[in-house]
Amino acid sequence: MSFTRYKSKKDNLQIILNIIFVFFLYILLVNKVSYGSDNENNPADPIRLVDHIIRADADGLALNPIDNEIIHGDEEYNNYVNSILNKAEKLAITNFDSGKNHKRKIKILIHVHGGMNNFESTDKRVANLADKIMKEESDWHYPIFLSWPSGVGSTYGEQLLRIRKGVKTEPPVSYIGVPFIGMSHMGTSIGKIPENFYHHLVNSKDIVATRIGPKGWLSHIWKQAERNSGYSFCMDEFESEEKAKILCNKIYNKYFSNIETRDQSKARRSYDKLLLKGKNDLYKKTVKVLNKTLKVPDFYELCDENENKVYSPYVKRLIEKTANYRNKRFKKLTSYERMKIRRLNRLIIEENFQYEAPKSLDVYRGEFVLTKEDKFIRYPYQFVMTPIRLTIGSFAHSTFGDASWKNMKRRTSNIFYPVYFFDNRHDEGTAAGDFFQTLIDRIKIKQDENNKNVKKFEYEITLVGHSMGAIILNKVLSKYQKEWITTKSLNNIVYMAAACSISEAKDAIIPLLERNGGPDPVKHTDFFNLTLNRVAEISEPVGKYSAPSGSLLVYIDNHYEKPEMQLDRTLGTEVNILSAINVFNQIKPYVHFKSFDRKHEHIPSKHGDFNNCPFWRESFWNTDTEIGTTGLNCYPEKWLDKEN
């Protein structure tokens, strides 16, 4: 009996060890799908790397990208940064057109990647994109890439072996805690399986509801996002209710008063009720009338009758693309056609009543385009893999991933406040984040009209942050807020699938854009928040469908963070930002929200695709510009090869 009991315990231990072994093999498989992958080209010439890369080590200290050795001292680092800026100014002189501007304009784009990247990713980015970005005709920039180590293995390993209560401890003392912390991670991971299983079920429910319905199955935050995205006109921002009534009457009398079809009679009744109700009801009913009821007859032809109205280029393209279905009944339109018609209606009304209707929040909602491969190959395969996703996959959303995520966030702070700056174990090296201070000092020198000994340049800075790169840029915007305002050098802020919370972005961006706006249409700063299509976000395949579906941002909201309120959810998810979009009302003229159309073999359709898109082009950010040749806001996967 005793021997049997011993053998049973031994077998149980062997089973546990086998599970652990299989789990780590699974993690390796899943992480083969990199969130920051690049085209497989040869890395850049090492000499070129120093022209375009600001590199930080795990502790936040600046490195020379040729040999990855620490740059010693502030003076050496300032010389390194100024050498990059000298080359940027040289490019500006080459592209200078004296007939347009008396000052040389230097456009610098600073790209910050997110988690699950290594130094090689940035090296490839320089090799693939640096020359292309500099040679663009109108969208040229001098690109600078901020590179920091954020791989899953290195971040979890350091968290397990060295990090204790936020402090990096020295071995062998730190190693004493490894078995205790490792066992805790394993136990907590097993304990979290039911919660992870629940989140996966909710996510699966939303996927089904968005694809085949019913819409009533959608989670509350999805319904809130749907309501907010329909508010094309913010009628409650008129100075008085009377002005809103006047605009409603003008729209009706000009275009619909002489039409007696059943649809327009319904519109007339809606307007009559609208004018009798209070302010809140006026807001909702106006949106409903403008966006849904006025579809037949052709709204564009009514507006354009006998006026020969000159519309913006984007509206003209929409008019051409919707010609075949503009006068169909609304219920017969596809969701994609409805979206296009709704957008055309809103833009036409805005352009016809631009001095009377307040500008709406600038939102473009991408469409999820189903293909035959989706219906007959990917969906069935996804269904077959469900048991694995619910078992091993649920275990993957564990304390191991959470520990890695926490250390990635820690490294975003190290870039500005390196570890060794606090404990004085080392007195060498410079914070990689000091690059921004050197840049701002350089801008001030070039703007100084009293200094006759330097060439004058007009700096235009575009900040592009992908995923956790947005967390780093929030720190840049907050730390140097006064400098960005006084120099007026910050032109665009572009967040792609931002992993920061809505609250963090709000606190960093709103004060800056409020003070950096004003009446000057040239000098204000614009903020672009780019996201995946809402369905693509929650259905992104991970590990060949062996892990629960969803992008990294879905993992963060459901597993790695514990949002206490709506503003604690990630900024880079379409549903999250639309459900809380009103927090940006005070800087409405300067903010733009765009989710991309999703189609198989087009990008961006996954979280890591943004780095493979032309993130330096204004057409990529803008909500009023279609990209590609398909009429969709997405790119073929091999677009870069075709252009080259």
Torsion sign across C-alpha atoms 152, 154, 160, 165: negative
Residue 239 has pLDDT above 60, yes or no: no
- Residue pair 499/115 in contact (Cβ under 8 Å)? The answer is yes
Q: Which two tokens stand for residue 347?
A: 């833009």
Q: What span, in angstroms and rounded, lies between the C-alpha atoms of 247 and 233? A: 11
- Reduced to 3 states (helix: H, G, I; strand: E, B; else coil), residue 170 is coil
Beta strands in 541-632 (DSSP E): 591-595, 602-603
- Of 70-79, 98-107, 414-423, the range with the highest mean pLDDT is 70-79
Q: What percent of the chain has pLDDT over 90?
A: 35
Cis check: omega of the bond before 604, within 30 degrees of 0: yes
CB neighbourhood size of 601 (10 A): 11
pLDDT attached to residue 600 = 87
pLDDT attached to residue 324 = 81
| Distant-in-sequence, close-in-space partners of 313: CB < 8 Å, separation ≥ 6 | none
Query: For helices 178-191 and 152-161, what crossing angle results, to 10°?
Result: 120
CB neighbourhood size of 362 (10 A): 17
pLDDT attached to residue 182 = 85
pLDDT attached to residue 278 = 40
Q: Which two tokens stand for residue 262?
A: 């059943």
Q: Which two tokens stand for residue 94?
A: 């080459």
Domain assignments of the chain as residue spans, ordered by start: 233-350
- Give the bridge partners for 527, in sequence order: 493, 591
pLDDT tens string 479-503: 999 999 999 999 999 999 999 999 9
pLDDT tens string 350-388: 666 654 544 556 788 888 887 888 878 887 887 788 777
User: Would strands 591-595 and 362-364 be described as parallel, antiparallel, or unpaired?
Assistant: parallel
Q: Which two tokens stand for residue 139?
A: 């969208």
- Residue pair 397/192 in contact (Cβ under 8 Å)? The answer is yes
Nearest to 502 by CA among 561, 591, 584, 558: 584
Sole residue written with tokens 């677009």:
639
| Distant-in-sequence, close-in-space partners of 299: CB < 8 Å, separation ≥ 6 | 255, 326, 341, 344, 345, 348
AA identity, residue 400? F
Q: Could you tell me which residue, 24 or 380, shows the higher pLDDT?
A: 380
pLDDT tens string 507-554: 999 999 987 655 454 467 999 999 999 999 998 988 777 777 889 999
- Give the bridge partners for 464, in sequence order: 111, 494
pLDDT attached to residue 73 = 85
pLDDT attached to residue 462 = 97
pLDDT attached to residue 280 = 47
- Give the bridge partners for 492, in sequence order: 462, 526
pLDDT averaged over the chain? 78
Nearest to 53 by CA among 105, 128, 130, 107: 130
- Residue pair 532/541 in contact (Cβ under 8 Å)? The answer is no
Nearest to 368 by CA among 574, 608, 640: 574
pLDDT tens string 497-507: 999 999 999 99
The continuous run of DSSP H or E covering 109 comes out as strand 104-112
Residue 322 has pLDDT above 70, yes or no: yes
Cis check: omega of the bond before 172, within 30 degrees of 0: yes
- Residue pair 299/345 in contact (Cβ under 8 Å)? The answer is yes
Q: What span, in angstroms and rounded, lies between the C-alpha atoms of 633 and 368? A: 11
- Residue pair 474/508 in contact (Cβ under 8 Å)? The answer is yes
- Give the bridge partners for 167, in sequence order: 164
Q: What percent of the chain has pLDDT over 70?
A: 69
If you average pLDDT over residues 272-300, what whole number do you get? 47
Q: Which two tokens stand for residue 29?
A: 């498989």
pLDDT attached to residue 97 = 63
Q: pLDDT-derived band of residue 77, with 50, 70 and 90 as boundaries?
A: very high
Residue 253 has pLDDT above 80, yes or no: no
AA identity, residue 332? K
Torsion sign across C-alpha atoms 199, 201, 202, 207: positive
**Stated pTM of the model:** 0.79
AA identity, residue 591? V
pLDDT tens string 551-572: 999 999 988 998 999 999 999 9
290 DSSP assignment? I
If you average pLDDT over residues 120-131, what whole number do you get? 93
Q: What angle do CA 87, 90, 94 make, to 5 degrees?
A: 140
pLDDT attached to residue 565 = 92
**Class of residue 620 by CB neighbours under 10 A (exposed 0-12, middle 13-18, buried 19+):** buried
Q: pLDDT-derived band of residue 305, with 50, 70 and 90 as boundaries?
A: very low
If you average pLDDT over residues 311-333, what whole number do you get? 72
Q: Which two tokens stand for residue 641?
A: 């090869």
Beta strands in 556-620 (DSSP E): 591-595, 602-603
- Give the bridge partners for 105, in sequence order: 458
